[in-house]
Amino acid sequence: MAKKRQRGNGAGTVYPRKNRDGKVTGYRGSYFAPDGKRRYVSAKRKGDAERSLREAMTDADRGLTFDASNQTVSGYMTRWLEDFAKGTIAPRTYHNYRLQIREHIVPAFGTMRLSKLDTPNIQALYTAKLRDSLKPSSVRYIHAVLRCALEKAVELRLIPRNPAASARPQRSGKRRSHR
């Protein structure tokens, strides 16, 4: 019989996830972050779960914890506008940002978790707005607001990277080739 590998204290735990029939469907790893909260990673194979667990624990030790698990895009955008943007922008700019968030960003992504927001979703929003006859300059303004807000989310370590940074709104009504 093969010797079972023991994990030391503080090394996290990897365990199988099973369906109702008892069949293993994947693996889940858990560990305690420096803030005392239990964090989880998942993977299809045990080795991948162990690797993800090690990476997550290393990132946590470096202070790179991404905790936007329950934060919605709507909640974050509202908080960002009031807590971070309002004091640094002109009143008219604040009004325009609030309008972009209320009219375009929240209807598209409001209930989505911040951690699930990605570049294809943002690019699809830009394409849909252009298809609905919104001016390209208005779509670029939506992009500017999203990019600025999500850059702050990266700075606050709520998300690992800014998904709006690699999305590209069109410059004119003509179709452009993507880079």
Q: What pLDDT score does 64 carry?
A: 56
Span 67-74, mean pLDDT? Answer: 75
For residues 149 and 21, give the distance between their C-alpha atoms in angstroms, rounded to a whole number.
45
Residue 134 lies in a domain: yes
Does the structure show a pLDDT above 60 at 121? yes
- Candidate ranges 6-20, 44-58, 131-145; pick with highest mean pLDDT: 131-145
Would 175 be classed as within a structural domain?
no
pLDDT of residue 10: 64
Instruction: Please give the average per-residue pLDDT across 151-164, as a whole number.
Output: 87
Whether residue 41 lies inside any domain: the answer is yes
Provide the residue range defining the domain that includes 89. 73-155
- Tell whether the model's pLDDT for residue 53 goes beyond 70: yes
Q: pLDDT at position 106, please?
A: 94
- How many structural domains is the chain composed of? 2
Q: Among 10, 15, 47, 19, which residue's Cα sits nearest to residue 29? A: 15
Per-residue model confidence (pLDDT) at position 33: 74
3-state SS of 55-121 is: HHHHHHHCCCCCCCCCCEHHHHHHHHHHHHHCCCCCHHHHHHHHHHHHHHHHHHHCCCEHHHCCHHH
Among 9-18, 61-70, 105-114, 141-150, which stretch is predicted with the lowest mean pLDDT?
A: 61-70
